[in-house]
Amino acid sequence: MSSRISIDAVRHVAKLAALSLSAEDETRMQSELDKILGHMEELNDLDVSGVSPTFHSVVAASSLRPDVVQPSLARNELLAAAPAQEAGGFAVPKVLDGE
């Protein structure tokens, strides 16, 4: 069965999205995405040349706030929600290889 999206493309997208998928998930995702993307191809029926995109549906005049220091949330309260903390920061697994 030919698909709009290859299994390699599914793996690539999963990597971009930082999701690990089982082999079974990959196959199911491939067939579901194929079907949904197939439906979305209807947008190709429309001529959109000269149409500008709508990134914001309501154009309200944006205003700048005064640049005044405001109290922010307390560090200890924010850290309390973290799975691991250390020395006043978020503790994370090692990022770099080496010693």
Contact residues for other proteins, defined by CB under 8 A:
5, 9-10, 12-14, 16-21, 25, 29, 32-33, 35-37, 39-40, 42-44, 46, 48, 51-58, 60-63, 65, 73-74, 77-78, 80-84, 90, 92-95
* Structure tokens given for 87: 């020395």
For residues 9 and 50, give the distance between their C-alpha atoms in angstroms, rounded to a whole number.
31
Residue 64 CB, nearest approach to other proteins (Å): 9
Q: Is 85 helix (H, G, I), strand (E, B) or coil?
A: strand
Give whichever of 2 and 62 is closer to other proteins, judged by the CB atom.
62
Tracing tokens 């979305």 back to the chain, one arrives at 40
Least Å from the CB of residue 86 to other proteins: 12
Residues 6 or more apart whose CB falls under 8 angstroms from that of 31 comprise 3
